[in-house]
């Protein structure tokens, strides 16, 4: 599949502009500095006034960290998704929500995928973590339990992760970053924040249809990557 830039309408541009400007403003002091730093690095190709062109984004991303955006029609099977992660490709939709869906959509759209996810792939530790999840999922793709555990890990980190900074909880998960409501709830401390523990995470169920009642809080992105060594040992021992 390929992004077809000529198909975006004036209304699409207005919606992108509205979503980007409102959420970028809302995120001030609510997200980790790494996200804002990465967003600044991508500002020439990721901004409020134009629909992001994936070719231009890929040029920046690949040069910096080797990652690229891979176009998909929507949600895809887990094995395909993880295979793309292993190969440093992040899957993204090219469709954008309508005006009626500005505050909530059932399935991730381009704003969630690009605004929420892509900036942090400019961060080496974060990108290495995502790629390693893909590696592990491909290695254990025949083991349903391990794949489910990796999906939980992905959910509580890449989608809904938070990080502790000077006694304050900041967001880095794309599901929070792309949601005005959830970013504000996290910032106001209205949820349960649990110190990052990979053993707890892989056994923690989640609900995709509600604001998260709990978040697992890291201290550095390096901590994420290093925790996968522990998970790999756990997986290997359980298979022995």
Calculate Rg over the CA atoms of the chain.
17
Angstrom distance (rounded) from CA 159 to CA 216: 11
Place of tokens 């992105």: 221
Q: How far apart are CA 52 and CA 114, in angstroms?
A: 8
Phi-psi domain of 163 (left: phi exceeds 0; alpha: psi -120 through 50; beta: other): beta
Percent of the residues in the chain that have a pLDDT greater than 70, as a whole number: 99
What structural domains does the chain harbor?
Answer: 5-239 (1.10.800.10)
pLDDT band per the 50, 70, 90 thresholds, residue 239:
low
pLDDT at residue 100, rounded to an integer = 84
pLDDT of residue 75: 78
Burial (Cβ within 10 Å: 0-12, 13-18, ≥19) of residue 122: buried
pLDDT tens digits for range 165-174: 988 999 999 9
Range name among 52-61, 87-96, 228-237 with the lowest pLDDT average: 228-237
* Model pLDDT, residue 180: 85
Mean per-residue pLDDT, 10-18: 96
pLDDT at site 42:
98
DSSP of 83-130: HHHHTTEEEE------GGGSS--SS--HIIIIIIIGGGGGSHHHHHHH
What is the model's pLDDT at position 240? 57
Residue 24 host element (H or E): helix 10-26
Residue 83 has pLDDT above 90, yes or no: yes
Q: Decide if pLDDT at 74 tops 80.
A: no
CB 200 within 8 A of CB 54: no
Q: What mean pLDDT is predicted for residues 178-187? A: 91
Choose the most confident range, by mean pLDDT, from 8-12, 70-74, 106-110. 8-12
Residue 147 has pLDDT above 70, yes or no: yes
Average pLDDT over residues 99-115: 86
Number of C-beta neighbours around residue 163 at 10 A = 24
Task: Answer yes or no: is pLDDT of 109 > 90.
Answer: yes
Q: What percent of the chain has pLDDT over 90?
A: 84
Q: What is the pLDDT of residues 25-73, one digit of tens each?
A: 999 999 999 999 999 999 999 999 999 999 999 999 999 999 999 999 8
């Amino acid at each position: 599949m390929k992004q077809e830039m000529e198909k975006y309408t004036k209304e699409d541009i207005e919606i992108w502009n509205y979503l980007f400007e409102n959420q970028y403003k809302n995120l001030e002091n609510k997200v980790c500095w790494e996200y804002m730093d990465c967003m600044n690095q991508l500002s020439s190709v990721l901004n409020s006034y134009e629909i992001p062109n994936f070719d231009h984004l890929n040029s920046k991303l690949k040069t910096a960290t080797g990652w690229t955006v891979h176009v998909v029609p929507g949600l895809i099977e887990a094995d395909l998704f993880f295979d793309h992660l292993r190969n440093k490709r992040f899957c993204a939709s090219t469709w954008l929500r309508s005006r009626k869906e500005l505050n909530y959509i059932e399935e991730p759209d381009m704003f969630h995928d690009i605004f929420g996810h892509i900036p942090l792939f400019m961060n080496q530790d974060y990108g290495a973590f995502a790629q390693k999840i893909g590696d592990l999922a491909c290695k254990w793709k025949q083991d349903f339990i391990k794949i489910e555990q990796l999906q939980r890990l992905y959910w509580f980190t890449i989608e809904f992760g938070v990080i502790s900074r000077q006694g304050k909880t900041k967001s880095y998960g794309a599901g929070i970053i792309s949601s005005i409501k959830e970013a504000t709830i996290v910032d106001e401390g209205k949820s349960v924040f649990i110190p990052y523990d990979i053993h707890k995470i892989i056994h923690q169920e989640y609900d995709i249809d509600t604001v998260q009642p709990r978040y697992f809080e890291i201290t550095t992105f390096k901590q994420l990557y290093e925790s996968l060594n522990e998970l790999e040992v756990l997986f290997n021992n359980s298979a022995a």
